[in-house]
Amino acid sequence: MNLKIIWMDFIYSIKGWYRSRGGMFWSLAFPVILILLFGAIFSGVGNSKYTLYVQDLDQSQISEGFNATLNATKLFNINVVKPDVNITQLIKDKNIKAVIVIPKGFGQTIINSKINPSAKVNLSFYYDPSDQTTIQVVRSVVSSILQQINMNISQGRTIIGLTEIKTITENFNFIDFFLPGMIGFTIMQGAIYGSIERNTKYRKDGILRKLLTTPITRTEWIFAKMLFMMFLAAITTILITIIGILVFNMTVNITPLVIIIIIATSFLFSGMGMLIGRFVKEEETADTAAGAISFPMMFLAGTFFPLEQMPQFLQVVAHALPLFYVNEGLRNSMIYMNQNEALINGGVVIVFAAVFFIAGVILTKWKED
């Protein structure tokens, strides 16, 4: 073993790394991004707030006191629903995961329980079984509060109970949540990596410059590449869907809106890849640059777990990420069949796609700077 050769090769690698300023930057920036990302997500464990809707049909001082107790736990972002709102329709329209309904006569029943041992009243807990994390937290906290109230009122006799009502007829589980997110994530990865690697390689090899001497226009070349990216997106979607159906016995609905969202997603992230590729000069740094963009988005956009498991400020960040709307649009259209929500999210994806793709086309040049 020639140690001198090993040492010289080692020094050459360091010099090559140092001379590639882009590679040096991304190799240092990527781990920093990861620690900041995971630190932000998991440092908030135990401090996350969960969204809970409360409809008070009683409007009494006692029901207001119950609401104040829920607020005092500091675990919930409570949204108050007006008494005249149809709660089942609201749950469907807004895809609400957890609702507590305080029935009319709640306060009077508690007052009567002091002289009437048989007096009882139940709160209604509407919940979506697909979001087990939120449901377990709400159920545990509300049950503990009711247990304490019953103890204070009657030394433990059950005056106030909890009636649980599922808000969807099908028993969705984590794989139902995961599959559409996996489709969106896979299309994003393929489009971003493909666009960046292709553009940087073609620029480095002088292919982009040589295309100026051919009859093909820049628009024709870009759309030809887009057809290929959409082909890959279609293959990916079909493959993942077939696995979900055959292996996990899922019920997946392929609607025209799903196809539109997938096409828009391909355009969106291809445009994003073209934008990034415009500023990545070296082929060696392409993968790292793509990972630095796609990897954080993958975790922050609700691909693998619900946003409510993250701190509040990261939930705000998620709503600014294109992948979030892709994931939500596919979930609502493919799995939950909430077409109103799917249409809204799909519209946002189309807007993002138009902005990024047009910007990518405009900034992509065949000439060297």
Q: Where are the domains of the chain?
A: 50-166, 174-363
pLDDT band at 28 (very low <50, low <70, confident <90, very high): low
Residues 24-62 as b/e (b if ≥16 CB within 10 A, e otherwise) read eebeeebeebeeebeebbeebeeebbbbbbbbbbbebee
- 166-178: per-residue pLDDT in tens? 875 455 666 777 7
How many whole angstroms separate alpha carbon 306 and alpha carbon 156? Answer: 36
| Six-digit token string for 300 | 């922050």
DSSP state of 168: S
Which helix or strand (DSSP H or E) is residue 162 part of? strand 160-166
pLDDT at 128 over 90: no
Position 169 scores a pLDDT of: 44
Q: What is the pLDDT of residue 112?
A: 85
Decide if 203 contacts 242 (C-beta within 8 A).
no
Q: Which two tokens stand for residue 358?
A: 């047009």
pTM given for the model: 0.62
Q: How far apart are CA 259 and CA 277, in angstroms?
A: 27
More confident residue, 153 or 239: 239
| Residue 25 to residue 246: CA distance in whole angstroms | 44
How high is the mean pLDDT of the chain? 78
CATH of 50-166, one of 3.40.1710.10, 3.40.50.300, 2.40.50.180, 3.30.930.10: 3.40.1710.10
8 contact partners, CB below 8 Å, separation of at least 6: none
Residue-wise pLDDT for 81-112, tens only, equals 998 888 888 887 777 888 999 999 888 888 88
User: Residue 323: its pLDDT value, please?
Assistant: 93
Dump the DSSP string for 219-284: HHHHHHHHHHHHHHHHHHHHHHHHHHHHHH-------HHHHHHHHHHHHHHHHHHHHHHHH---GG
Q: Which of 188, 227, 193, 190 is nearest to 323 (CA)?
A: 188
Nearest residue to 265 (alpha-carbon basis) of 325, 337, 177: 325
